[in-house]
Structure formats: structure tokens, C-alpha cells
């Protein structure tokens, strides 16, 4: 090639036949995804209720963003790793963590996943769910390190790494993706782009509209999907996981989505403050849960009775979770200091 050359990021429109592909996925798998989205929604509702009653829980509500983590986690097997980020609990429920033990951990009770010592930074190493990070973008290089482990194991293991659009502006993001691309590590990086970094709109912090374009500089494929469309997510991620598991290297997927609530439980300005009420209301119409329900009903792949059963079971599960969590006790001083040092 002779120089100079102008580098461009051309986008290719992919063919997507919704009805045909939904039938290919099947009712059982899609209803399972719907069930886990509803369980996540009710888990968030349970936390919000407990916060109103005075309980102290670190909460970054999932509402509006259930689809991407749930669909992504549905492809993970027992031997696959999940590196979560701060937003919500869909990733945990999607990988098989139990809401009652999650809630106990969030309330710092010893019957939680980490004996009440992790709180919101919970994890489950038996399920290969790494601890949730407390520092922006700190987890992304860890996911890349896990990718090295998977590659050295010479198995079809993958690591799913979730992060928000804010993390994609951090140096850790660039370094981690650069290493993963260089060594062709089996890591799927998914950016949930909800258009805000806490209170700042993405246009004020990021010079490009599509974060997936950053895949180019890291030598990996990039995709942009509707993060509120379960069927589209499944369509793209099915091929992406096959690509990564086959030893081709990492992939970056950007899911365009939106959080219905504030950044965290102290954010009271998300509706009519730094985000207009009209903007929020418009995005709520794209809620992935009723959207998938509508798809399944129109395609005759489920009935109203199916959905009523799912919602009732989710509510019952959360009532059990509250009872279980509140029955737990706080760790003693000795228990809090356990595992800090090698015995």
C-alpha cells in the first residue's frame, strides 16, 4: 500500500429477519430470558422498597437495561467467566446467582454470598462471577487477564466483560482491549451505552457517537445493536460467541440503551433535571420487558397465562428473598477480618 491513506470507519448494515429468527431461538429460550428480566426488575423493586424503609444498600437500578446482560449471560456455560460492572443485577441473575443470597449480601448479612463482607462488590467464584468492581473501569484489565487464563487452558472458555459508556473513556479500557486484540484473547466486551456518564450526556464527554468504532484501533470486530431488543441481541451475540469461542480473538459490542431511573439511589435529578421528562418517557416506551412480551404474543410463541405465571413467581421469589435476607445476622469483627491475610 502506498501512502498517504485516509482511514474511514464504514458501517455495514446486517440483515435481520425478526420473525424468522425468533422462531429459530424458540419459545423456551425466549421465555427464560423474559423470566430473568422480570426477576431482575422485581429484585430492583425490592431493593427500592427496602431503601424507602431505611435500609442501607448501594444501588444502581437496572430498570430499562435488563436485556443486554441477561441475553449475554444466557450464552455462558459453567466454565465461562463473567466480569460485571456497577449497573444493576441482571448479570448476576443471568449467570445463576440467587436473589435471596444477593439481597442478604447487599444487607451485609452472613447468609449472603460473601458472608456480608462484600456488600455491593459481591461475586460468586463457584459460578465464575468475579467480584463487582468499586472503581470505574478497574475490572476491564482483569477481564483481559482472565482471557489469558482461558487461552492457556486451551478450552472453549470465554470471559464476558460488561461496562458502561463512561468506562470506555478510561485508559484501562484502551489498554485492556489493545492487549486482548494483540493476543487474540477469548473475551467479549460489551458496552451498555445508556447515553449518560452519571449526570453528563455522552455528547459532552465523548467525541464519537458510536463507541463500537473503538474496536478498530484494537484489531477486533465491532457491532452496534439495539440493547432493548432481545431478539436482535440474541441474533448478534449468537454469532459473536461462536467467533470468540473458536479462537478468533475478542469482540466489542455496543448496546444502545437507557436507564429509567437515576444513576444511583442518591440521584434525584434524572427525571426533569439533567434529563428532560420527555426524553425519559420516550425511552420508557422502549422498555425491553413489554417489548419482548409483545413480540412473543404477536408471534404466537407465548400466552398471557405464561406471562402471568412468570410475574407471580418472581414476586413470590422476592418475598422469600426478603425473609431470608432479613433473617441473617451481621458478621462479627473476627468474621469481617477473615481472609484479609494468608493464615
Quote the pLDDT of residue 6. 67
Q: What is the mean pLDDT of the chain?
A: 95
Measured at the CA of 176, the angle between CA 170 and CA 177, to 5 degrees, comes to: 100
- What per-residue confidence (pLDDT) applies to 130? 95
- Res 342: pLDDT: 78
Please check the confidence at residue 5 and state whether its pLDDT lies above 80.
no
- Decide if 292 contacts 34 (C-beta within 8 A): yes
Q: What percent of the chain has pLDDT over 70?
A: 99
64 within 8 A of 121, measured Cβ to Cβ: no
Question: 248-283, pLDDT tens digit by residue?
Answer: 999 999 999 999 999 998 899 999 999 999 999 999
What number does CATH give the domain 18-330?
3.40.50.970
pLDDT in tens, 124-166: 999 999 988 888 899 999 999 999 999 999 889 999 999 999 9
- Which pLDDT belongs to residue 265? 87
Length of the chain: 343
pLDDT digits (tens, 9 = 90+) for 21-48: 999 999 999 999 999 999 999 999 999 9
| pLDDT tens by residue, 75-106 | 999 999 999 999 999 999 999 999 999 999 99
Q: Which residue has the higher pLDDT, 139 or 1?
A: 139
Banded model confidence at residue 341, pLDDT cuts 50, 70, 90? confident
Mean pLDDT, residues 99-114: 97
SS (H, E, C) the chain: CCCCCCCCCCCCCCCCCHHHHHHHHCHHHHHHHHHHHHHHHHHHHHHHHHHHCCCCCCCCCCCCCCHHHHHHHCCCCCCCEEECCCCCCHHHHHHCCCHHHHHHHHCCCCCCCCCCCCHHHCCECCCCECCCCCCCCCHHHHHHHHHHHHHHHCCCCCEEEEEECCHHHCHHHHHHHHHHHHHCCCEEEEEEECCEECCEEHHHCCCCCCHHHHHHHHCCCEEEEECCCHHHHHHHHHHHHHHHHCCCCCEEEEEECCCCCCCCCCCCCCCCCCCCHHHHHHHHCCCHHHHHHHHHHHCCCCCHHHHHHHHHHHHHHHHHHHHHHHCCCCCCHHHHCCCCCCC
Q: What pLDDT score does 11 carry?
A: 87
Of 232, 159, 231, the closest CA to residue 223 belongs to 232
- Virtual CA dihedral for 188, 146, 163, 104, nearest 10 degrees? 120
CA distance 223 to 307: 31
Q: Which range among 4-8, 10-14, 27-31, 243-247 shows the weakest confidence by mean pLDDT?
A: 4-8
Q: State residue 266's pLDDT score.
A: 87
Mean of pLDDT values over 308-317:
98
Report the pLDDT averaged over residues 164-181: 96
Q: What average pLDDT does this structure show over 329-339? A: 91
Amino acid at each position: 500500500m502506498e501512502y498517504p491513506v485516509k482511514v474511514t470507519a464504514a458501517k455495514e448494515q446486517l440483515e435481520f429477519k425478526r420473525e424468522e429468527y425468533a422462531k429459530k431461538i424458540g419459545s423456551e429460550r425466549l421465555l427464560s430470558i423474559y423470566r430473568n428480566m422480570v426477576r431482575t426488575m422485581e429484585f430492583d423493586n425490592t431493593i427500592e422498597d427496602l431503601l424507602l424503609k431505611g435500609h442501607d444498600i448501594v444501588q444502581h437500578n437496572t430498570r430499562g437495561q435488563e436485556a443486554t446482560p441477561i441475553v449475554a449471560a444466557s450464552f455462558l456455560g459453567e466454565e465461562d467467566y463473567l466480569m460485571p460492572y456497577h449497573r444493576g443485577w441482571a448479570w448476576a441473575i443471568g449467570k445463576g446467582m440467587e436473589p435471596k443470597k444477593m439481597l442478604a449480601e447487599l444487607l451485609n448479612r452472613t447468609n449472603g454470598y460473601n458472608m456480608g463482607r462484600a456488600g455491593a462488590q459481591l461475586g460468586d467464584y463457584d459460578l465464575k462471577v468475579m467480584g463487582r468492581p468499586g472503581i470505574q473501569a478497574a475490572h476491564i484489565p482483569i477481564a483481559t487477564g482472565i482471557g489469558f487464563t482461558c487461552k492457556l487452558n486451551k478450552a472453549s472458555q470465554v470471559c464476558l466483560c460488561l461496562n458502561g459508556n463512561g468506562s470506555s473513556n478510561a485508559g484501562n479500557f484502551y489498554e485492556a482491549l489493545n492487549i486482548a486484540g494483540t493476543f487474540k484473547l477469548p473475551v467479549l466486551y460489551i458496552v451498555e451505552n445508556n447515553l449518560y456518564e452519571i449526570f453528563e450526556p455522552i455528547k459532552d464527554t465523548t467525541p464519537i457517537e458510536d463507541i463500537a468504532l473503538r474496536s478498530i484501533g484494537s484489531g477486533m470486530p465491532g457491532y452496534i445493536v439495539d440493547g432493548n431488543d432481545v431478539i436482535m441481541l440474541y441474533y448478534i451475540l449468537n454469532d459473536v460467541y461462536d467467533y470468540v469461542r473458536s479462537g478468533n480473538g475478542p469482540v466489542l459490542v455496543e448496546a444502545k440503551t437507557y436507564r429509567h431511573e437515576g444513576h444511583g439511589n442518591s440521584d434525584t435529578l434524572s427525571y426533569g433535571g439533567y434529563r428532560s421528562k420527555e426524553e425519559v418517557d420516550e425511552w420508557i416506551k422502549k422498555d425491553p420487558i413489554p417489548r419482548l412480551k409483545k413480540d412473543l404474543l404477536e408471534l404466537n410463541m407465548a400466552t398471557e397465562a405464561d406471562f402471568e405465571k412468570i410475574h407471580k413467581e418472581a414476586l413470590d421469589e422476592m418475598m422469600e428473598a426478603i425473609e431470608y435476607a432479613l433473617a441473617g445476622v451481621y458478621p462479627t469483627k473476627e468474621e469481617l477480618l477473615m481472609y484479609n491475610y494468608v493464615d
